Chains A and B, each alone.
Chain A
Amino acid sequence: MRPIVRVSETAFSAEDELRAFMRGRDDSGACASFVGLVRGGEVSALELQHYPGFTEAEIERIASEIAQRHSINGLLAIHRAGRMTPGETIVLVAALSAHRAAAFKAVEELMDWLKTDAPFWKREWRDGEAAWIEPTAEDYKRRARHDTETA
């Protein structure tokens, strides 16, 4: 099973992508999905840079590992790049499996990895000031927990 991975410089519809992903999948009894939105509040805009070719290959490598570990029938990851404003869809991850537990796990693990380790470089605008963001200690701790669980 080869995961479907895409990095999009333009807005995408999570609903349309999910519908297409699930169509005709009678091999699976479960589809779990996660949609990430750009959160408003202090942040007025954010920009994600990616390394075309490299970023997609890294996501596919990790997604394949996760899919294999949980006997996933289909795994989808679509991530935005470029400049975004609050309310926009930034990521969609979905997994198909025979039963729900595996699909939930796969989505959570891939999301955790995407949030901390995926090859993106993020810049946020607060009060008109732009700053580059690096992973938080909490992000790393969360990831270490999964590594222990799956070791």
Chain B
Amino acid sequence: MRILFFGRLRDLAGSSEVQAPDTFETLADLRRWLAETHAGLEQALAQRGVRVAIDKAIVGNGDVSLRSAKEVAFMPPMSGG
């Protein structure tokens, strides 16, 4: 699946997009994998105000299923235009 980063998170990730294995069951699994593969991202992703969208739909704070998810976006607080 595609993992997308925006704003500050993009700088920390070092790219706008990474490809993750399709095997993760939940968002928590993906977060663990990102923490292992991208040092420095773990804290930033857990910060208040960072929102997550799965296939372009915002999801809540709880652990969410990633089954059949194609795209996960991590979004820091939106600045407006």
Which positions in A face B, CB cutoff 8 Å? 36, 48-49, 51, 53-54, 57, 79-80, 90-91, 113-123, 132-135, 139
Contact = CB atoms under 8 A, between A and B. Distances in A.
Contacts of A79: 81
Interface in B2-27: 4, 6-8, 10
Contacts of B7: 49, 121, 123, 132
Given A51-B6, A91-B81, A132-B8, A121 B56 contact: no
Given A54-B56, A132-B7, A120 B79 contact: yes
A90 B7 CA distance: 18
A113 to B, nearest CB: 8
Contacts of A80: 81
Contacts of A139: 80
Nearest to A7: B81
Interface stretch (B32-40, B59-67, B69-77): B69-77
A120 B75 contact: no
Interface centre among B75, B76, B78 (most CB of A within 10 A): B78
Contact of A49 (B6, B77, B80): B6
B81 A90 contact: yes
B73 A120 contact: no
B73 A51 contact: yes
Contacts of B53: 51, 54
B78 A121 contact: yes
B77 A120 contact: no
Contacts of B78: 117-121, 135
A91 B81 CA distance: 8
Contacts of B4: 51
Contact of A51 (B75, B80, B81): B75
A2 B4 CA distance: 29
A116 B80 contact: yes
A86 to B, nearest CB: 16
B81 A121 contact: no
A48 B81 contact: yes
A57 B56 contact: yes
